[in-house]
Amino acid sequence: MTALKNAGYYTLSPDEAYRVLTTNEKPAEKIVWVTFDDGYKNAHDTAMPILTALGMKGSFFIITGNLGNEDTMTDVMLSDLKANPLMSVGSHTVSHPDLEYSSNEAANAELVDSKKYLDNLLHQDTSVICYPLGRYNTETAGLAEAAGYKLGLTTNPGLASSANGLFALNRVRVSYGQTEASFMASVGN
């Protein structure tokens, strides 16, 4: 995160990412959207304080059915994230199924129920779905849009672009043990 900050990157909120993707209105020349999947406690306990200290935004995608398990955040921790103006919370479904192979009925329930849970708990309109395993099928985008999401994140490698569709956005994956140089190269610096 320090490398991004030192390189002059501006971190996006989901609303800012949506504006960039739909209007090409950029709040800064160098932008990045920092995302964390699954809702592990360490995202709250480690990532949030680092981001906050650096004045950077972060988006956390939560498996709502796993909340309160041994290594995952609780409702209180999610509320704590939401109370921080630099942080945002999005959906990672209820039970983390592979949406590529889920029936439309099952996928719809995962998308709708997780959004409702987060909307009610955090008093927000959850606008982003991060697909479990980054996988989806040809009908997932329509189901996500009908559920009320504005954006869908995959794990397809590369930079996000509206050319791929707002519900099939690429991401740059950070791997354990990755060097700062290789990470910065992957984001185009």
Domain boundaries, the chain: 2-186
| Span 168-183, average pLDDT | 91
Position 26 pLDDT exceeds 80: yes
Q: Which residues have C-beta within 8 Å of that of residue 117, sequence separation ≥ 6?
A: 64, 94
pLDDT > 90 in the chain, percent? 94
Cα 26 from Cα 162, distance rounded (Å) = 14
- Single pTM value for the model: 0.95
Cα 49 from Cα 138, distance rounded (Å) = 38
Q: Number of helices (H) and strands (E) in the chain: give both, helices first.
A: 8, 8
Q: Region of 158 please: left (phi>0), alpha (psi -120 to 50) or beta.
A: left
Look up residue 12 and give its two tokens. Answer: 């996006």
User: Who wins on pLDDT, 83 or 189?
Assistant: 83
Summarised one tens digit per residue, pLDDT across range 73-91 is: 999 999 999 999 999 999 9
Q: Which residues have C-beta within 8 Å of that of residue 74, sequence separation ≥ 6?
A: 67, 68
Summarised one tens digit per residue, pLDDT across range 109-123 is: 999 999 999 999 999
Q: Does domain 2-186 have CATH number 3.20.20.370?
A: yes
- Mean pLDDT, the chain, rounded, equals 96
Position 71 pLDDT exceeds 90: yes
